[in-house]
């Protein structure tokens, strides 16, 4: 399983918005049961898309500034960013194949 790094309010701009690759951010909180269910799914997707997209987790309890900016009203919320812009949002638990199909639209095909 992929070990997905944490992103914070302080490094969100650099790690996510300025990334050359599409970025999937998993907005979660430690007390959230569905967040624990979606975590291994996101890790499996991260493994499959290694080198084609970047993946981060953001604890909404500890990083409220970014959570408020992106109007995170329910968790888990997965947001895909491309070229510094939100391009897709997935709220709640979704199967791995659904997340992969959505992410596939935003990654560059391998040469």
Active site residues: 32, 35
The Cα 107–Cα 10 span in angstroms is: 26
In 1-111, beta strands by DSSP E = 23-28, 54-59, 77-82, 85-91
Q: Are 90 and 72 in contact (CB under 8 A)?
A: no
């Amino acid at each position: 399983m992929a070990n997905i790094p944490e992103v914070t309010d302080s490094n969100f701009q650099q790690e996510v918005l300025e990334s050359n690759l599409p970025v999937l951010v998993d907005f979660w909180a430690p007390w959230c049961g569905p967040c624990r269910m979606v975590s291994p799914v996101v890790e499996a997707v991260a493994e499959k898309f290694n080198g084609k997209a970047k993946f981060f987790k953001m604890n909404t309890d500890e990083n409220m500034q970014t959570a408020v900016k992106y109007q995170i009203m329910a968790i888990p919320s997965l947001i895909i960013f491309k070229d510094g812009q939100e391009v897709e949002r997935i709220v709640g638990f979704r199967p791995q194949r659904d997340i992969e199909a959505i992410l596939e639209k935003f990654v560059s095909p391998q040469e």
